[in-house]
Homo-oligomer: A and B are copies of this chain.
Amino acid sequence: MTTIKDNDLQKLKQKVYQANLDLVKHRLVLFTWGNASAIDREKGLIVIKPSGVPYDKMKADDMVVVDLFGKVIEGKYNPSSDTATHIELYKAFCDIEGIAHTHSTYATAWAQAGKAIPLTGTTHADYFSQDIPCTPDMAQERIFKEYEKETGLIIVETFKDMNPIYTPGVLVKNHGSFTWGKDVKNAVENSVVMEEIAKMAFLSFSINSELTMNTLLAKKHFERKHGKQAYYGQKNI
């Protein structure tokens, strides 16, 4: 195993480490049930959380560097058991540079219910342009072959007619959520948002099972924050 003392990678490790801690801070992860990663597109290298290491003992330097074939390039620990899923997403969605995975309570409840999180309000539309899809059941042979890789592939199949930038996250049936973004911080932010809109959608449907959402209002809100006409926020911060 070669050791690369590369400045960019050290910075990326720090960001990935911080992102993993943020998942805990936002109460999206219990024990070690989650992981976040980032990719250095130029080098073709992924920095990811080690598998099953307690957060209170984990250091930035414990992050594991793997290549796009899953080979460990640097790090003393095994990478996250979900590494193969991250790899498939980075390979298929070329505009993303960060991924987060959680079993956060409300998002997971929708995943266990096997239902997409419906677009019910502008909070959702500010970040996700449409319903957040749920993958279908996985066939038996895929489960017992290369399960984590197949999880990535089934997500990619679910997005075959969707833009992953406009809908930066997915539910994996009976499992949990994956979110992504332009960097690992953005991926974590999208996990936080998904959990909150999963909770609000649950409550809204409990109040009114026949609620409606004006899709033009959703479009307006998404475009307020994204794309060329965006006018939310500041230009220079």
Q: Which A residues fall within an 8 A CB radius of B?
A: 30-33, 50-53, 77-78, 81, 103, 105-106, 108-115, 120-123, 126, 137-138, 140, 143-144, 147, 173-176, 189, 192-193, 196, 199-208, 211-214, 216-217, 220, 224, 231-235, 237
A35 to B207, CA, bound (A): 26
Query: Are A214 and B144 in contact, with the CB atoms below 8 A?
Result: no
Q: A220-B147, A233-B78, A234-B77 are in contact. Are A196 and B109 (CB under 8 A)?
A: no
A199 contacts across to B, CB distance below 8 A:
105
A211 contacts across to B, CB distance below 8 A:
112-114
A201 contacts across to B, CB distance below 8 A:
112
Query: Are B81 and A138 in contact, with the CB atoms below 8 A?
Result: no
| Shortest beta-carbon distance from A220 to chain B in Å | 5
11 A-B residue pairs with Cβ-Cβ distance under 8 Å, sorted by A, are A51-B234, A105-B200, A110-B204, A112-B200, A113-B203, A113-B211, A115-B207, A120-B174, A121-B176, A173-B214, A206-B206
Query: Are A200 and B108 in contact, with the CB atoms below 8 A?
Result: yes
Query: Are B208 and A113 in contact, with the CB atoms below 8 A?
Result: yes
| Shortest beta-carbon distance from A226 to chain B in Å | 13
